[in-house]
Amino acid sequence: MRAIAASVVLALLPVGAIAVAPAADAAPVVRMDYPTWAQVQQARQAEGATQALVAQIQAQLAQLQAASQAAQADADAKGDAYAKAQEAYDKQDYETQQLEVKVAAAKKDADAAREKAARMVAQLSKTNGGTGSTATLLSSQGSADGQLYRLQAYNTLIKQSQGIYDHALQLQKTAQSLTDQAAVKKKLLAELQQKAEAALAAAQEAAQKAADAVDAETTHQAEMQAQLAVLTQQREATEADYQAGEIARAAAEAARRAAMGQGGRVSSSGWADPASGTLLDAFGMRFSPTHFRWQLHSGQDIANACGTPIYAAASGTVKYAGVYSDLGNYITITHDGGYVTGYGHIINKGILVRIGQHVDAGQQIARIGSTGGSTGCHLHFSVFVNGSLTNPVPFMRDRGVTLG
């Protein structure tokens, strides 16, 4: 029996080898060889072999958990950095858009003032008989009273024209000043965009590694825990028993998702309602309930119970799926036409898609939660047009979708 136990332990040692290869500035990548059910049955024949395999499984479970936690921590840090960079860009972009509206209005006012000044010059010319000379006006025929009247009218027009000219000049200076400010903001905007893109790339890579680590933990954890139970409780169980249980659990999960609905309501334009619920805070500047200051609210909040389905607003490709600072667990999807949609505050373990995955309009991609800087269960839905935030309510309405 001792010989059998020794041979089994030796046979299991290569199986339990764990290689941890740390990548630069990233969570470690864990590679393991996992025990088979045949090895579990073999180890049960000897106490020493059982203990060795139990120790191996426990070590591997701990390694899987540690790797998953490290990868998630790295993804969280890079996701927060991406969020800060993107939020800085969005804030600057919003301010630049508002400034450009002021520039357009100032230019319009300046143009109108110049036209008014031009009309005044023409009127002066007519009043002075087209000569443009006060001496000519005074030497013209007529009574003294008539000449004084004409002189008074002329001086009045001169004063009015000077005021109009000064006003037009001031408006022109204002328009130029606003134009110069807009140029500075656009330059800063380009720099912020580069930083946001670099932060996105790092966050995407970290989020992908975290998702892979969670997949590895999820895939092997349940089976190894079942194997551990067989070894520690000395129960009779086979791989077939385990697989049957997994099939039953998968069927129950499929039934649960089916009960939640098959997808969002898709309009004739190909756009879908991202979630049902009550509209709360709208897009625009607001007093933040978590930071207690005025700041840009980048989307439309749709409140519903945690766990309620979230659907892709249109067909596209998942750009990001991971932690995103105040928006908690967050997904962005790129669509044709330069559009991007964002879905924030997703419940923990509620992201159902991966970076790079294609999704259809109305396909469930997540579940409503209250992660990040949230005061209750809701979806934070954002829309970007050519990189700039826009109000989701009229944008979706124009595509045949009424939010909420």
DSSP state string for 324-339 = -GGG-EEEEEEETTTE
pLDDT recorded at residue 7: 36
Give the pLDDT confidence score for residue 18 in this predicted structure. 36
Q: CA dihedral in degrees (109, 114, 117, 122; nearest 10)?
A: -130
Query: What was the pLDDT predicted at 300?
Result: 96
Whole-angstrom distance, CA of residue 278 vs CA of residue 285: 20
Rounded Cα distance, 169 and 38, in Å: 90
CA dihedral for 287, 301, 378, 211, sign (positive or negative):
negative
pLDDT at 77: 87
Report CA torsion sign: 68, 367, 262, 317. negative
Distance, CA of 387 to chain centre: 11
10: alpha, beta or left, given left = phi > 0 and alpha = psi -120 to 50?
alpha
Distances, alpha carbon 129 to alpha carbons 144, 147, 159, 290, in Å: 18, 13, 18, 71
| 8 A C-beta contact, residue 343 and residue 323 | no
With CA atoms as reference, report the closest residue to 344 among 376, 313, 382, 316. 382
Residue 296: the pLDDT is: 85
3-class DSSP assignment, residue 353? coil
Facing residues of 300 across strands? 381
Q: What is the pLDDT of residue 242?
A: 57
pLDDT value at position 378? 95
Q: What is the pLDDT along the chain (404 residues), one digit of tens a residue?
A: 333 333 333 333 333 333 333 444 444 444 567 777 677 777 666 666 777 777 777 787 787 778 778 888 888 888 888 888 888 888 888 888 888 888 888 888 878 877 777 776 676 666 555 544 444 544 455 555 555 555 565 566 566 666 776 777 787 788 788 788 878 877 888 888 888 888 888 888 888 888 877 777 666 666 677 777 767 765 555 555 556 666 666 666 555 555 444 446 889 999 999 999 999 999 988 777 766 667 788 999 999 999 999 999 999 999 999 999 899 999 999 999 999 999 999 999 899 999 999 999 999 999 999 999 898 999 999 999 999 999 999 999 999 999 97
| Kind and range of the H or E run holding 93 | helix 47-127
Residue holding tokens 């500075």?
184
Residue count of the chain: 404
What global pTM score does this model have? 0.58
- Residue 297 DSSP SS3: strand
Tell me the Cα Rg of the chain.
35
pLDDT in the model for residue 274: 96
Question: Domain 278-397, what fold?
Answer: Glucose Permease (Domain IIA) (2.70.70)
Per-residue pLDDT at 319: 94
Q: In the prediction, which pLDDT does 240 show?
A: 59
Q: Which residues contact 290 (CB under 8 A, 6 or more apart)?
A: 326, 373, 374, 375
Q: 256 to each of 303, 347, 367, 370, how far by Cα in Å?
A: 21, 16, 13, 21
Domain coordinates in residue numbering, the chain: 2-83+202-259, 100-191, 278-397
